[in-house]
Protein backbone atom coordinates (compact mmCIF):
# COMPACT_ATOMS: atom_id res chain seq x y z
CA UNK A 1 0.00 0.00 0.00
CA UNK A 2 1.32 3.43 -0.93
CA UNK A 3 0.95 5.92 1.90
CA UNK A 4 1.48 9.67 1.92
CA UNK A 5 1.99 11.42 5.25
CA UNK A 6 1.20 15.13 5.14
CA UNK A 7 2.90 16.71 8.12
CA UNK A 8 1.43 20.06 9.12
CA UNK A 9 3.53 21.51 11.91
CA UNK A 10 4.12 25.28 11.89
CA UNK A 11 7.69 24.80 13.15
CA UNK A 12 8.82 21.25 12.46
CA UNK A 13 12.50 22.07 12.96
CA UNK A 14 11.86 22.81 16.63
CA UNK A 15 9.30 20.09 17.15
CA UNK A 16 10.20 17.21 19.40
CA UNK A 17 7.14 14.95 19.21
CA UNK A 18 6.01 15.38 15.61
CA UNK A 19 9.60 15.29 14.38
CA UNK A 20 10.19 12.01 16.24
CA UNK A 21 7.03 10.51 14.76
CA UNK A 22 7.93 11.57 11.21
CA UNK A 23 11.55 10.47 11.63
CA UNK A 24 10.32 7.06 12.73
CA UNK A 25 8.68 6.63 9.31
CA UNK A 26 11.65 7.62 7.15
CA UNK A 27 12.83 4.04 6.55
CA UNK A 28 9.35 2.59 6.08
CA UNK A 29 8.85 1.24 2.56
CA UNK A 30 5.96 2.73 0.61
CA UNK A 31 5.61 5.80 2.86
CA UNK A 32 6.17 9.27 1.41
CA UNK A 33 6.48 12.10 3.97
CA UNK A 34 5.77 15.73 3.12
CA UNK A 35 6.11 18.84 5.27
CA UNK A 36 3.27 21.18 4.27
CA UNK A 37 4.74 24.25 5.96
CA UNK A 38 8.09 23.70 4.27
CA UNK A 39 6.51 23.21 0.85
CA UNK A 40 4.19 26.21 1.12
CA UNK A 41 5.92 28.87 3.23
CA UNK A 42 3.87 31.59 1.51
CA UNK A 43 0.65 29.57 1.83
CA UNK A 44 0.08 29.41 -1.94
CA UNK A 45 -1.07 25.84 -2.28
CA UNK A 46 -0.78 24.24 -5.71
CA UNK A 47 -4.16 22.48 -5.70
CA UNK A 48 -3.59 20.65 -9.00
CA UNK A 49 -0.29 19.21 -7.77
CA UNK A 50 -1.88 18.20 -4.47
CA UNK A 51 -4.77 16.52 -6.26
CA UNK A 52 -2.36 14.58 -8.48
CA UNK A 53 -0.46 13.43 -5.40
CA UNK A 54 -3.68 12.28 -3.75
CA UNK A 55 -4.45 10.15 -6.79
CA UNK A 56 -1.07 8.37 -6.47
CA UNK A 57 -1.59 7.11 -2.91
CA UNK A 58 -3.93 4.60 -1.29
CA UNK A 59 -3.72 5.99 2.24
CA UNK A 60 -3.25 9.61 3.28
CA UNK A 61 -2.22 10.52 6.81
CA UNK A 62 -2.64 14.02 8.21
CA UNK A 63 -0.03 14.41 10.95
CA UNK A 64 -0.14 17.51 13.13
CA UNK A 65 0.04 18.77 16.69
CA UNK A 66 -3.39 19.23 18.21
CA UNK A 67 -3.72 22.96 17.81
CA UNK A 68 -6.51 24.72 19.68
CA UNK A 69 -8.69 21.62 19.40
CA UNK A 70 -8.14 21.30 15.69
CA UNK A 71 -5.45 21.22 13.01
CA UNK A 72 -2.98 24.01 12.26
CA UNK A 73 -4.31 26.70 9.88
CA UNK A 74 -2.27 25.74 6.80
CA UNK A 75 -3.78 22.25 6.85
CA UNK A 76 -7.27 23.77 7.04
CA UNK A 77 -6.38 25.94 4.03
CA UNK A 78 -5.11 22.80 2.28
CA UNK A 79 -8.53 21.18 2.78
CA UNK A 80 -10.25 24.29 1.44
CA UNK A 81 -8.00 24.66 -1.61
CA UNK A 82 -7.51 21.01 -2.60
CA UNK A 83 -10.78 19.24 -1.83
CA UNK A 84 -12.84 21.13 -4.38
CA UNK A 85 -16.38 20.76 -5.66
CA UNK A 86 -16.46 18.68 -8.81
CA UNK A 87 -13.16 17.00 -7.94
CA UNK A 88 -13.47 15.73 -4.36
CA UNK A 89 -17.25 15.93 -3.95
CA UNK A 90 -20.38 16.87 -5.85
CA UNK A 91 -21.05 15.88 -9.48
CA UNK A 92 -17.87 14.32 -10.84
CA UNK A 93 -16.26 14.58 -7.42
CA UNK A 94 -15.38 10.96 -6.93
CA UNK A 95 -11.58 11.09 -7.18
CA UNK A 96 -11.07 10.14 -3.53
CA UNK A 97 -13.45 7.20 -3.52
CA UNK A 98 -11.69 4.18 -2.05
CA UNK A 99 -8.85 6.24 -0.55
CA UNK A 100 -8.12 5.78 3.14
CA UNK A 101 -7.47 8.75 5.41
CA UNK A 102 -6.38 9.03 8.98
CA UNK A 103 -5.40 11.71 11.45
CA UNK A 104 -2.25 11.36 13.51
CA UNK A 105 -1.89 13.94 16.25
CA UNK A 106 -0.02 14.74 19.42
CA UNK A 107 -1.50 16.47 22.44
CA UNK A 108 0.05 18.28 25.36
CA UNK A 109 -2.49 16.69 27.70
CA UNK A 110 -3.19 13.22 28.97
CA UNK A 111 -5.89 10.95 27.61
CA UNK A 112 -7.88 11.51 30.82
CA UNK A 113 -7.99 15.23 30.06
CA UNK A 114 -9.70 14.48 26.74
CA UNK A 115 -12.97 12.97 27.93
CA UNK A 116 -16.32 13.97 29.37
CA UNK A 117 -15.59 15.60 32.71
CA UNK A 118 -11.91 16.02 31.85
CA UNK A 119 -10.12 19.34 31.50
CA UNK A 120 -10.85 19.50 27.75
CA UNK A 121 -14.40 18.10 28.02
CA UNK A 122 -14.36 16.05 24.82
CA UNK A 123 -12.34 13.25 23.24
CA UNK A 124 -9.91 13.90 20.41
CA UNK A 125 -12.24 11.85 18.20
CA UNK A 126 -15.03 14.30 18.95
CA UNK A 127 -12.81 17.29 18.19
CA UNK A 128 -11.70 15.93 14.80
CA UNK A 129 -15.25 15.25 13.59
CA UNK A 130 -15.07 18.13 11.08
CA UNK A 131 -12.11 16.43 9.38
CA UNK A 132 -13.93 13.09 9.47
CA UNK A 133 -17.04 14.72 7.98
CA UNK A 134 -14.94 16.32 5.24
CA UNK A 135 -13.40 12.97 4.28
CA UNK A 136 -16.79 11.26 4.36
CA UNK A 137 -18.25 14.00 2.12
CA UNK A 138 -15.38 13.39 -0.29
CA UNK A 139 -16.20 9.65 -0.46
CA UNK A 140 -13.01 8.67 1.38
CA UNK A 141 -12.73 6.11 4.14
CA UNK A 142 -11.88 7.71 7.48
CA UNK A 143 -9.82 5.41 9.69
CA UNK A 144 -9.38 5.54 13.47
CA UNK A 145 -6.98 8.29 14.50
CA UNK A 146 -3.56 7.81 16.01
CA UNK A 147 -3.23 9.99 19.09
CA UNK A 148 -0.08 10.38 21.15
CA UNK A 149 -1.12 11.85 24.47
CA UNK A 150 1.52 13.96 26.16
CA UNK A 151 4.56 11.96 25.00
CA UNK A 152 7.75 12.29 27.01
CA UNK A 153 11.42 11.80 26.18
CA UNK A 154 11.09 8.28 27.62
CA UNK A 155 8.12 7.35 25.45
CA UNK A 156 9.12 8.97 22.14
CA UNK A 157 10.72 5.86 20.67
CA UNK A 158 7.81 3.66 21.72
CA UNK A 159 5.30 6.19 20.36
CA UNK A 160 7.16 6.39 17.03
CA UNK A 161 7.04 2.59 16.76
CA UNK A 162 3.36 2.53 17.68
CA UNK A 163 2.72 5.23 15.06
CA UNK A 164 4.50 3.32 12.29
CA UNK A 165 2.57 0.18 13.21
CA UNK A 166 -0.73 2.09 13.15
CA UNK A 167 -0.03 3.52 9.71
CA UNK A 168 1.01 0.13 8.31
CA UNK A 169 -2.02 -1.66 9.74
CA UNK A 170 -4.53 -2.91 7.18
CA UNK A 171 -8.00 -1.43 7.04
CA UNK A 172 -9.60 -4.56 8.51
CA UNK A 173 -7.34 -4.35 11.57
CA UNK A 174 -7.88 -0.62 12.16
CA UNK A 175 -11.63 -0.76 11.63
CA UNK A 176 -12.37 -3.46 14.19
Q: How many Cα neighbours within 13 Å face the side chain of 175?
A: 8
**Structural domains in the chain plus CATH codes:** 3-174 (3.40.50.360)
pTM of the predicted structure, to 2 decimals: 0.93
Q: Is 120 exposed, middle or buried (0-12, 13-18, 19+ CB in 10 A)?
A: middle
| Chain Cα centroid distance, residue 34 | 11
Q: At what angle do helices 47-56 and 73-82 cross, to 10 degrees?
A: 80
Per-residue pLDDT of the chain (176 residues; tens, 9 = 90+): 899 999 999 987 888 788 888 888 888 889 999 999 999 999 999 999 999 999 999 999 999 998 777 889 999 999 999 999 999 999 999 999 999 999 998 887 666 666 788 776 877 687 888 999 999 999 999 999 888 887 777 878 888 888 888 898 877 777 76
| Rounded Cα distance, 54 and 42, in Å | 21
| Rounded Cα distance, 46 and 24, in Å | 28
Amino acid sequence: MKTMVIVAHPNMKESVWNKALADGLKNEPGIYIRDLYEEYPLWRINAEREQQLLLEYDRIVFQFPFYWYSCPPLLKKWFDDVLTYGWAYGPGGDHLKGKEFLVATTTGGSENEYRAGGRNWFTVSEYIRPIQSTINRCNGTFLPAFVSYNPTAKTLTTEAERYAEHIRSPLAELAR
